Amino acid sequence: MQMAHADLAERLLAGDVRALARAIRMAEDRDPEVAGLLRRVRGRAGSATVVGVTGPPGSGKSTLCDQLIERWRSQGLKIGVIAVDPSSPFTGGAILGDRVRMQRHATDTGVFIRSMAARGHLGGLAAAAREAIRLMDAAGRSLCLLETVGVGQSELEVMQTADTTVVVTTPVAGDAVQIIKAGILEIADVFVVNKADLPGAAKIYRELRDLVRQTKGSADWQPPVIMTSAVSAEGVEELVGAIDRHGELIAASGELERRRVARLRAEVEAIVIERAAERARRALREGTMKQELEGDLRDVDPYALAERILNGHVKEAAG
């Protein structure tokens, strides 16, 4: 196994796309061996720019991402994309999405695209996405794009992985109130009003601009609101510029460093939670704890069991 890892790590660092795909699948499957792989590529990751794009289904987010990818490609950047689709365990959406998206950039090895589905629970998706970004980074993708649908808790966690977060809305999708409610105002660095040719675009533009002024009036960075029409590529140049400016500002101000430390903390916390949950599941199904759960349940103190598991005081069954 060690040999296989060394080989996989070497191919990954050389930018081999199949090795990258395999490594990301390991992260997505929450394969414990991914720890060893990440250890091997450590030091070679940490330089990529991570841009997050989120917005409701139907906001034209994917078309917009395509436009962004085209601009970045023309600048010579190698790109990695993770598209998170939490609904896919039921609909198979991720697999379909992969195919549809792949077609456009199928012949360009400078663009690597993966869809990722929510599996299990408890932050597993966020952990997998973070590891995928790190793997793409190590494989030489200098720009990583993270695309998520919707605004649930898990998408917010995923988005905390980005250096710069773009929130896409449309005149149809909703108003500023929705954005406040969903808690995405806090994570937005750039707002996009896509489908700007539709009626109501000016209204939501004004709402968002006022919202930004009211809430972030004194901040270093006031999220710009950009009108785009992804189909005609209108406004995309401006969006690329805003993402660049935000990246430069946070690098200069130290905010980028703060975000990356926060991200690493979140990553460690997620691993601790994942391992602790595993430890609990195992402990509760064997040895003395299994016996205790076969007795009178009213005698069981769940807090005491939890403490014993956390402190590693799990005994074999008495016989």
Residue 169 bridge partners (DSSP): 193
Closer of 172 and 266 to its own copies (Cβ): 266
Q: x/- contact string, 193-232, with its own copies (CB under 8 A)?
A: ----------------------------------------
Q: Which of 47/218 has CB closer to its own copies?
A: 47
**Among the listed residues 1, 2, 3, 90, the single contact to its own copies using CB under 8 A:** 90
Give dist(CA 86, CA 150) in Å, integer: 9
Phi-psi map region of 188: left, alpha, beta (phi>0 left; psi -120 to 50 alpha):
beta
Distance CA 197, CA 13 (A): 44
Q: Which amino acid is at 125?
A: L
Span from 21-29, 52-60, 226-234, 302-310 in contact with its own copies (CB under 8 A): 302-310
Q: C-beta of 315: minimal distance to its own copies in Å?
A: 15
State the nearest-atom distance from the C-beta of 218 to its own copies, in Å. 24
Q: Which of residues 262-291 bind its own copies (CB under 8 A)?
A: 264-265, 267-269, 271-273, 275-277, 279-281, 284-285
Among 31, 220, 248, 301, binds its own copies (CB under 8 A): 301
User: What single-letter amino acid sits at 219?
Assistant: A
CA distance 315 to 300: 16
Residues 11-70 that bind its own copies (CB under 8 A): 35, 38-39, 42-46
Tokens of 300: 């069981």
From 105, 158, 157, 156, select the one nearest 129 (Cα to Cα).
158
Report if residue 183 touches its own copies, rule: CB under 8 A. yes
Selection from 121, 114, 122 nearest residue 85 by Cα? 114
Cα distance between residue 158 and residue 184, in whole Å: 12
Report if residue 304 touches its own copies, rule: CB under 8 A: yes
- Minimal distance, residue 165 CB to its own copies, in Å: 19
Q: Helices 61-74 and 236-253: crossing angle, nearest 10°?
A: 70
Number of H helices, E strands in the chain: 14, 7
* Among residues 261, 291, 313, 315, the one that binds its own copies under rule CB under 8 A: 261
Q: Output 3 or 297, the one with its CB closest to its own copies.
A: 297
Residue 34: exposure state from Cβ atoms within 10 A (0-12, 13-18, ≥19): buried
Nearer to its own copies, 51 or 270 (CB): 270
| Residue ranges binding its own copies (CB under 8 A) | 35, 38-39, 42-46, 90-91, 121-123, 152-153, 180-181, 183, 260-261, 264-265, 267-269, 271-273, 275-277, 279-281, 284-285, 293-294, 297-307, 309-312
